[in-house]
């Protein structure tokens, strides 16, 4: 089963993200938007996991979260990876206790490395994915992203709601033609 580890988000954060999506959709860029109810803050993507390995994964996550407290975060800025000039992933940034958040992501990474999951090669960048640009088919012109790039530049300093991130979840991801469906398999509450 396809799995990942994430921080769950409160409804106000999902609503703010949906509002930003609504401001970006009229740009005409070919983006596959993430459904607001599916939004989360990814700590680590695991890929395909054998269901028999779930107890060990859950134990590793419990170890990684031991002694950690809920995080005070805030939505902060809007942008794209790798950059606004050639966007592939549209995101909302996160500020607040980001050093503690990065520490949690490192602890999750280190705990799961002991189970054979490859450690992350890139530094952790806290963000909520709003959508992914559809890539032009071979032989066709690349999609026009100028309007999206201008809209993202106008939202670079946008600030959204502050929120408390208190739940780390091991999630199952089932891919469907309508988009991924996420189901929590194990949830750890941070005090």
**Residues 160, 19: contact at Cβ < 8 Å?**
no
Q: Is 63 a catalytic residue?
A: no
d(CA 2, CA 93) in angstroms, rounded, equals 25
Beta bridge partners of 4: 45, 171
State the alpha helices, DSSP H only, in the chain.
11-24, 54-65, 98-113, 146-154
Q: Is 127 a catalytic residue?
A: yes
Number of C-beta neighbours around residue 91 at 10 A: 21
Q: Which DSSP symbol is given to 60?
A: H
Candidate list 34, 127, 145, 170, residue with the active-site label: 127
d(CA 176, CA 99) in angstroms, rounded, equals 35
Candidate list 14, 40, 44, 84, residue with the active-site label: 40
Active site positions, annotated: 40, 127
């Amino acid at each position: 089963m396809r799995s990942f580890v994430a921080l769950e988000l409160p409804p106000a954060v999902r609503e703010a993200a949906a509002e930003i999506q609504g401001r970006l959709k009229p740009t005409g860029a070919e983006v596959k938007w993430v459904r607001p109810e599916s939004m989360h803050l990814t700590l680590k993507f695991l890929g395909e996991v054998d269901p028999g390995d779930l107890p060990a994964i859950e134990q590793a996550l419990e170890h990684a979260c031991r002694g950690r407290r809920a995080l005070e975060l805030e939505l902060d800025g809007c942008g794209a990876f790798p950059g606004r000039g050639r966007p592939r992933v549209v995101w909302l940034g996160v500020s607040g206790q980001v050093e503690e958040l990065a520490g949690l992501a490192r602890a999750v990474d280190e705990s799961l490395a002991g189970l054979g999951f490859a450690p992350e090669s890139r530094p952790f960048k806290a963000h909520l994915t709003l959508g992914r640009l559809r890539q032009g088919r071979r032989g066709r012109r690349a999609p026009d992203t100028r309007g999206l790039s201008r809209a993202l530049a106008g939202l670079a300093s946008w600030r959204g709601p502050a929120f408390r991130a208190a739940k780390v979840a091991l999630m199952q991801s089932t891919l469907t033609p309508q988009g991924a469906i996420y189901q929590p398999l194990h949830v750890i509450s941070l005090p």
